[in-house]
Structure 1
Amino acid sequence: MGKEIRVDIETLRAADSDRQKVADQLRAALDEGRLSLHEYDERVRDAYGAKTYKELLVLVADLPRPGLSASEVAARQLAERRREARRLPPALIVLWTIWATLAVVNLVVFALVVASTDGTIYPWPAWLLVPGAALGAVTVGVQAIRNQKH
């Protein structure tokens, strides 16, 4: 086997078009009031002198995409935190998956038994509501605790 060469994107040489894109992003940041004229001049000078992508990325690392307001950035961060807070912990996802699988199997077996016999059959799948209710209560409790932390 030959040697495998791993090239990190940041070490690659930047092209003139890459430098121009960064300069355009810096201009947009200046127009939006995110950079002072002095900062803009320094960063544009550094952008045109950059040799690698890493040197370019450092110049715009603290800037949002052009046209994105601070309130939009804050709204996106808040939405992401809310989405993360609603996400169930992996253990609960596993437990709900197990419960749902057992419920489906029991209901299918029950339906097959009912369809293949003439007599009255005890509705044993109803007992699955007990662990389902307990699991639901635990889920609500865990989410309430997680929401208090945020």
Structure 2
Amino acid sequence: MGRDEMRAGDNDRQAVADKLKQAHDEGRLELVEYDERLQRAYAAKTYGDLKGLLDDLPTAPLPARTRATDPAPTTTAPPPTARADRAGQLVRAWLGGFGGVFVLGTVIWLVSSIASGQPQYFWPVWLLIPMALGALGRFRDR
């Protein structure tokens, strides 16, 4: 039996997924291709299934075969810094979208107030309510 027919382990699949993430972060893979390759990596059963996923990426060799003596991770939770970074990305992405809607609403309010010649009721303040509730919900989940 050749190496390509040997069963791949979770560590092997995760190592390929990490390399794919790095390639995506470097701009070598677009989101759609990254997602397709990532799905194939997690579905891989053998080393042969993992083989073509990294071939066109620079300095991305297949992971070495996992040794049976490698200790299993004791926890599945990411390290605190990774968790905080992920939370920060989620909040920035979520608030950024709502923030853009709020700014657009404020610009519309400002133009209509200038056009009418008098200040209008500041209705964009109502756009802040779902943004505030969502932010509170995100922080409460932590």
TM over 0.5: same fold?
no
TM-score band (shorter)?
0.3 to 0.5
Structure of higher CA gyration radius: 1
Name the structure where helix makes up a greater proportion of residues.
1
Q: TM-score, normalised by structure 1?
A: 0.39
